[in-house]
Structure 1
Amino acid sequence: MNFEIPKYTHPNFSVDPFISFPNAKYLEVIKDGVAPENYHAMSIYPEYFKINNNWILASESRMDCVPVYKTEGIISVVEFRNLKIGDKVVVGRTEDGSEGIYLHTTGFLTTNAGADVFAFRSGRSRETAYSKDYDKLYDLLKYEKDNGYVVWVLGPAVIFDYDSRKALSSLIENGYVDAILAGNAMATHDLEAGLLGTALGQDIYTQESKYMGHYNHLDLLNKARNSGSIENLIKDYNIKESVVKSCVDNNIPLVLAGSIRDDGPLPPVFANVYEAQDEMRKHTRKATTLICLATTLHSIAAGNMTPSYTVTNDTVRPVYIYSIDVAEFAVNKLRDRGTLEVTTMVTNVQDFLVHLKNYLIK
């Protein structure tokens, strides 16, 4: 089955009431990092702004940021902390077009006339059958390999298992990964496994705890810091296999955001949270598919930075977001935080990765 991107339908702005709606208003920023009163806050959905009687789509959006009118035909979406004196921030709190601001939620909508209003098991839980979700994801990733930008958001659980590490490395090497967003722990334990065969001191295949194994990740971090970089560490200690090594070998961006509890950390970890956010944002703004595995806070962060759509060559297409975790709480938390356009799968991430690899890579 060949995957096809759903067709996007723009609002018909050539008819009333859109014709009679006023142009959007804006106020200039008078203090760096502070939006004017009555600023408009963005959502995850496509939003249009009437400027000089033309409706302009914000092509690179982000939830909870503000639209800034830059030049004719361009609306930039900016974080509050990045606002500068003189920026023209669109103001208005309505989204029905009456203030020159229109939020469009039905651009990709398909109707199912035969669907019941009430039905059992309409939510997503451990009882949900995910066979169809897997089939759709297989087709999507085959399409995205040549046409999209797939960003993976990873927790350390993905590398605690021998088979899932190999599966993820294989997905990287075969073109199904365009960027990875993670924390210090994922990369540390992956490199620990590559060097010592353990993750947090446990054998990655047998799960047996090794004698004095609790030192292993600390030893790895110390060696990495002595080497000065991940690349030098891999070379200095002849690490032959790891997810991180696959990223290095295939020029896949690896953004590691630090946390308050980090050990070490590894040399490339961003200690400044806003620098980490900016670096993550470079990839979420290009993402066409986002796959979040076993990391609640990182998933929420990346998901909230990722709109439900992206614009490529003047074509509006949906962004597909997947959240996978063995805990229902973790996958549902992303939806609770405003990222509504997400497919949740309650399953073991190790099994998930192996399923993907076995199907996509023969």
Structure 2
Amino acid sequence: MYIQEVFELHAHTPTLVDLEDLAAREDAHLELHGTKPMRFSIYVSPERLEHVSALFIEQGCKRIHSTELKMEPAPKDGVVPDDFHATSNKPTFIFRDGNWIPVTRLRMDGVITFDENNTPFCNLMRDVIAGEDIVVGHGGIRIAFLDLPTKNEEEFGFMQGDVSSERQNPVIIRKIARDMKAIRDRGGRIVFVAGPGVIHTGGMAPFCGLIEKGYVQAVLSGNALATHDIENALYSTSLGISTKTADVVSGGHRHHLSAINRMRFHGSIENAVRAGELRSGIMYTLVQHNVPFSLAGSIRDDGPLPDTEMDLCKAQARYSELVQGTDMVIIISTMLHAIGTANMIPATCKTICVDINPAVVSKLADRGSTQTIGIVTDAGLFVEQLNRELDLFEV
């Protein structure tokens, strides 16, 4: 991880070669931007930034961006100072007491405040309390890079973008499976964000396989996935279409409502499992393996299910809680929940987005989640192949 620091030099000495030698000796990377005056950046690890910067300042170089951190108190509950610093999902550091300190709980569209231990963290505007210190402006703040800039990034090549329907999906899925195996074996976290397309395309059984093998630490979704999963478990239909024959079932249009009604009778999905009425499917398997899930409601929801959180702020908070410390997020066939979840995770979290529509997969990168790897394919086929690849590791 590297922080970029920009300098200017107005004197004729030291030369660029001298500065490059200095950077090399200090394990820093130097990138020239201009020559009149000489303007350049150094890229160096956060813990060594001040030491290396001091050496360049001794050579007559001038630091362009201030290290002075400014804070102002929140004027009201849920209101921040006008000049608040808006966070991104990139690793962020603030300068305090002579050190660059990482900001925790990274997410997009937040503000930087401090907890009871004076540790900086990303908070939501609505959760700010009057009088809290809020970081403002740009001084004393640096955004870190995960890798050094290279000239290769500008070279042209076919199908080198993060989204393409003309790529070897089996190869990519095999690599994802290998990463998932490593994460699971070291006790890491993998969170799935899934839409009802998983059910409509027949991905129920392989998804259950992922849960049973310990590759799912949480599921984030909406009312629809759970509803149609339970509909399938009770009536073998999804949206009234037989999941066995793909034929329209007479009276099937009411099956999802009947499924919701039965869950409402029991008071929760877990109660329906314990009562023995719900005996298969994704939601059943989650309950049986004590895997947490969160269902965020929307204006279009039927019912809803008793587990669906219709308070948007509470649903967002629960999503955010479940993605903390996550190593990988796999998003399948749900644009709405994809964007919402991606805003809550740092750029260091491996993010996979699967959808049959390339525009959905591209939208995450367009919204700032540039770490996303996109796979354009059918949701059910993806889950089936992923489960099959992971089965090979179990042998």
Secondary structure of the residue aligned to 1:40 is coil
Query: Displacement of 1:116 after TM fit?
Result: 6.4
Q: Deviations over 1:43-87 (max 9, x none)?
A: 111111001222100122111100113456610210000000121
Q: Does 1:10 align with 2:10?
A: no
Amino acid at match of 1:279: R
| Residues 116 and 272 of structure 1, relative CA distance in 2, 3 Å threshold | closer
Q: Does 1:218 align with 2:257?
A: yes
Secondary structure of the residue aligned to 1:232 is helix
* 8 Å Cα contact 1:195-1:237 kept in structure 2: no
- Equivalences for residues 1-362 of structure 1 within 5 A: 10-11=45-46, 12-13=48-49, 14-16=51-53, 21-70=66-115, 74-92=119-137, 94=138, 99-105=139-145, 107=146, 109=147, 117-123=155-161, 124-147=163-186, 148-162=188-202, 164-236=203-275, 238-309=277-348, 319-362=349-392
- Normalization by structure 2: what TM-score? 0.81
Secondary structure of the residue aligned to 2:134 is strand
Alignment partner, residue 35 of structure 2: none
Distance 1:91 1:50 in 2: 13
Secondary structure of the residue aligned to 2:271 is helix
Distance 2:312 2:88 in 1: 22
* 8 Å Cα contact 1:325-1:347 kept in structure 2: yes
Distance 1:176 1:200 in 2: 28
Distance 1:116 1:23 in 2: 34
RMSD over aligned Cα atoms = 2.0
Query: Displacement of 1:275 after TM fit?
Result: 0.4
| Residues 223 and 72 of structure 1, relative CA distance in 2, 3 Å threshold | closer
Q: Deviations over 1:201-251 (max 9, x none)?
A: 111121111101001011111111111111222344533211001100001
Name whichever of 110-119 and 269-278 sits farther off.
Answer: 110-119
Distance 1:114 1:41 in 2: 31
| Residues 90 and 275 of structure 1, relative CA distance in 2, 3 Å threshold | same
* 8 Å Cα contact 2:354-2:375 kept in structure 1: yes
Secondary structure of the residue aligned to 2:113 is strand
Distance 2:279 2:155 in 1: 55
| Residues 157 and 72 of structure 1, relative CA distance in 2, 3 Å threshold | closer
Name whichever of 29-38 and 175-184 sits farther off.
Answer: 29-38
| Residues 189 and 35 of structure 1, relative CA distance in 2, 3 Å threshold | same
Name whichever of 281-290 and 295-304 sits farther off.
Answer: 281-290
Q: Deviations over 1:167-222 (max 9, x none)?
A: 00010011000000000010011011111111111111211111010010111111
Query: Displacement of 1:110 after TM fit?
Result: 6.2
Amino acid at match of 2:371: E
Name whichever of 184-193 and 329-338 sits farther off.
Answer: 329-338
Secondary structure of the residue aligned to 2:172 is helix
| Residues 27 and 110 of structure 1, relative CA distance in 2, 3 Å threshold | closer
Distance 2:300 2:99 in 1: 49
Q: Deviations over 1:15-38 (max 9, x none)?
A: 216987433110111201111121
Query: Displacement of 1:112 after TM fit?
Result: 6.7
* 8 Å Cα contact 1:66-1:89 kept in structure 2: yes
**Which structure has the larger Rg?**
2
Alignment size in residue pairs: 337
* Runs (4+) off by over 4 Å: 17-21, 110-116
- Normalization by structure 1: what TM-score? 0.88
Distance 1:38 1:191 in 2: 48
Alignment partner, residue 6 of structure 1: none
Distance 2:378 2:104 in 1: 35
Distance 2:154 2:219 in 1: 39
Query: Displacement of 1:120 after TM fit?
Result: 2.8
Distance 2:156 2:134 in 1: 43
Distance 1:70 1:230 in 2: 36
Structure 1 unpaired stretches of 5+: 1-8, 310-318
Amino acid at match of 1:342: T
